[in-house]
Amino acid sequence: MKKLLFKVFFLSFTSLSCQNNTKEFEQVNSIAIEVPKEDGFSKAYFASGCFWCVEAIFESVYGVHEVISGYSGGFTKNPTYELSNTGRTGHAEAVEVYYDNKTISYSTLLDVYFGSQNISQINGQGPDIGSQYRSIIFYQNKLQRDIIYNKIKEIEKFNNVSVAAEVYPFQKFWKAENYHQNYERLHPNNPYIRNVSIPRLKKFQKKFPHLLKINH
């Protein structure tokens, strides 16, 4: 009986894994969707561990107007925090960055992205581990795609490491629940914010002082 139950579980798990791999393949090989400007601001999409951390980092950068926390890169509709944390939706915690492309370039946003993470960590950043915390850069057109791959090539050559970030064509961004927005700023005494998010932000700020907003 135990052998039969194990076989059923194994076949179910294998079937689910194959389905997820197929959906991920379809996602990676989709045609990128280009998002129009909103109120004069361009949009860029990144995943790099906990979105509380990433939102705060990009919010500190000059030329960035606003950052929204959410989910992207998966194959289910209307993902929630609870569902994404199961690792079965394909989604990663991501951010939507509103920026003035006359003030800051997409290439510089990539410098912010790579400069604020462990570039070689797979499926996570710091203590946050799992596919929902994996690093993904979402491109919207061929120009962005070329900039991303050129940047990765330079980083790997200079640092002699393999960049863990995946590169996906952008499909859709799902805004996270309201309580996740501006989380670091609104909850500075939260233990995770004090011990993980703020130190990550300060490390980035020390590394790239020339990219910071005045008095931030």
Global pTM reads 0.87
Which H or E run includes 8?
helix 2-28
Which H or E run includes 164?
none
In the residue annotation, 50 being an active-site residue is answered as: yes
Q: How high is the pLDDT of residue 29?
A: 76
| 34-54 tens-digit pLDDT | 999 999 999 999 999 999 999
Query: Residues 163, 176: contact at Cβ < 8 Å?
Result: no
Write out the DSSP string of 9-78.
HHHHHHHHHHHHHHHHHHHHTSPPPPPPPBTTBEEEEEEES-HHHHHHHHHTBTTEEEEEEEEES-SSSS
Query: Residues 167, 148: contact at Cβ < 8 Å?
Result: yes
Q: Which residues contact 89 (CB under 8 A, 6 or more apart)?
A: 71, 74, 75, 76, 79, 83, 132
Among the listed residues 44, 47, 50, 67, the single catalytic one is 50
Domains and their CATH numbers in the chain: 30-211 (3.30.1060.10)
| 103-152 tens-digit pLDDT | 999 999 999 999 999 999 999 999 999 999 999 999 999 999 999 999 99
